[in-house]
Amino acid sequence: QVQLEESGGGLVQAGGSLTLSCAASGRTFSNYDMAWFRQAPGKEREFIAYIIRIDDSTYYTDSVKGRFSISRDNAKNTLYLAMSSLKPEDTAVYYCAARRPSTGNVRTEISYDYWGQGTQVTVSS
């Protein structure tokens, strides 16, 4: 079992920045590939970013490329999402997720084994 807990959400003005954290406990954090998803009101949860455990290679959905950065600190068992140039459409609950190494599609929820409870990010215009 891996327990995940997000933090760092809040209210920010458009154009601002925010960094989310996801603290992991339980199994060895470095054994898992990690991702961030988000869910806006009335919408399905969507993939944002992914980081591979082996070499920290990253992958982003187009809408956040150049604005968001995913990273991890295995010594601290923590995943991060640095967000800049935030837009009102970035308003959502943000979730971190973990999966055992797999060939499954990184953009799909079913590929992940563990989820956090989410943290709210609200971007005002």
How does pLDDT run across 3-42, given as a tens digit for each residue?
999 999 999 999 999 999 999 998 789 999 999 999 999 9
| 29, 78, 86 from 63: Cα distances, Å | 27, 24, 11
How does pLDDT run across 43-73, given as a tens digit for each residue?
999 999 999 998 999 999 999 999 999 999 9
Contact between residue 115 and residue 95 where contact means Cβ atoms under 8 Å apart: yes
